[in-house]
Structure 1
Amino acid sequence: MTVRVMLISPAMNAALREARFAGDAPLDDSGLRQARAAAQGVPAADLILHGPSGRCTLTAGALGLRSAADHALGDWELGRWTGARLDEVSASEPEGVAAWLADPSAAPHGGESLLDLCVRAGAWLDSLHGSDDGRVLAVVEPAVVRAALVHALALPPQAFWRFDVAPLTLTEFSGRSGRWNLRCGRPLAAVPVG
């Protein structure tokens, strides 16, 4: 049976604007307005989920979705870097940041490595094969979308850094028996600025 998985990246927030390792930063008023404006573009689904972060939870609500949190869809766990800005961490731990960017197995922050994130996202994606839920929709952090793309296309983990996932865009996977096809980056609706 073919399954269709649709991943929506959450709306913009202050942490994303500041290039922070966000942790659980919620949406700001602008992000809430943008998500509400995009609600009309959300496709129908049989199973609707969201990552456990405040940003994903609030985006799902603003999109009008009745969804359940799935901890397998949690954001990339970045340990002690959580909440810090990338420029701050780069200044205080330049060797750690260099290792993190170059080596997919590195976790100098004490959290999850890129390899671990890709394995987790891939396991979740593959777990949907054979389920009765033909159309699955989930609001997930951009890192989870990128990791799922790496897994679905059987790319080397370093390809993760080559994907940009804009807020409130839809990435669609369809497949059967572990073979995935993609449709990437469709905006949900015209998103007002401000």
Structure 2
Amino acid sequence: MTSRITLISPAMNRSLRETRFDDGAPLDPSGRAGAESAAGSLRAADRVLVSPTARCRETACALGLAAAPEPELAGLDMGRWRGLTLDEVMAREPEQLMSWLSDPDAAPHGGESVRALCERAARWLNAAAAFEGRTLAVVEQEIVRALAVTVLGVPGPAFWRLDVPPLTATDLSGQSGRWNLRLGRELGA
């Protein structure tokens, strides 16, 4: 059985614009307008899921999707760095930040490591492979990266080498253990 999963990255908000670790900020007007203009451009899905973050829930709503929350698709837990910009963390904890950016097992912020995120995403993908039909999920960019790392079987540091623009679709098709990946399709394109 072939599973089909489309991951939608959230629309623009202040946190993304400022390179800020998610602080629960809502979509900004341009992000909301972009998502609303893409409404109706997605293929029908048998199951629609959403990360529990505000920007993902608001993106799903602006896209006209009735999505069920999926806790396993939550963004990376940034612990005490939540709400800070990358520059602020660099100024306060440069060694810890460099450790986090170079070691997938590091979690100096007291939250989740990149490896733990990739393992959580892999568990979700394995379970999702059993679902018959098309799945659409609005998820944080780091979930898209974690699933790409998992599907491609690349080392954890590759996580930082993947850019996931706002309001793009990443398609996964296949089955547990064998997936094909299509990255970065603009919505409405």
Normalising by structure 2, we get a TM-score of: 0.97
Q: Deviations over 1:96-148 (max 9, x none)?
A: 0010011110000000000000001111011112223x210000000000001
Query: CA-atom RMSD, angstroms?
Result: 1.0
Aligned pairs, how many?
189
Measure, in 1, the Cα distance between the counterparts of 2:102 and 2:181. 26
Determine the structure 2 residue equivalent to 1:51.
51
Structure 1 regions of 5+ residues with no counterpart? none
Displacement of 1:189 in angstroms is 2.2
Residues 47, 136 of structure 1: 8 Å contact kept: yes
TM-score (norm 1): 0.95
Aligned to 1:186: 185
CA distance, structure 2, for counterparts of residue 38 and residue 9 of structure 1:
13
Q: Which residue of 1 aligns with 2:168?
A: 169
CA contact (8 A) 2:26 2:58 kept: yes
Tell whether the 8 Å contact from 1:129 to 1:178 is kept in structure 2 after alignment: no
The residue that corresponds to 1:86 in the other structure is 86
Counting only pairs closer than 5 Å after superposition, residues 90-169 of structure 1 correspond to structure 2 as 90-132=90-132, 134-169=133-168
Shift, 1:77, TM fit: 0.3
Q: Deviations over 1:3-26 (max 9, x none)?
A: 001000010001111110013221
Q: Percent identity?
A: 56
The question of whether the paired residues in 1 share the 8 Å contact of 2:8 and 2:136 is answered with: yes
Structure 2: stretches of 5+ with no match in the other structure: none
Aligned to 1:28: 28
Runs of 4+ residues deviating >6 angstroms: none
Q: Would the aligned equivalents of 2:3 and 2:175 in 1 still touch at CA under 8 Å? A: yes
SS across alignment from 1:6? strand
CA distance in 1, matches of 2:9, 2:23: 15
CA spacing shift, 1:102–1:42, aligned 2, 3 Å: same
Give the whole-Å Cα distance in 1 for the aligned partners of 2:35 and 2:155.
Answer: 33
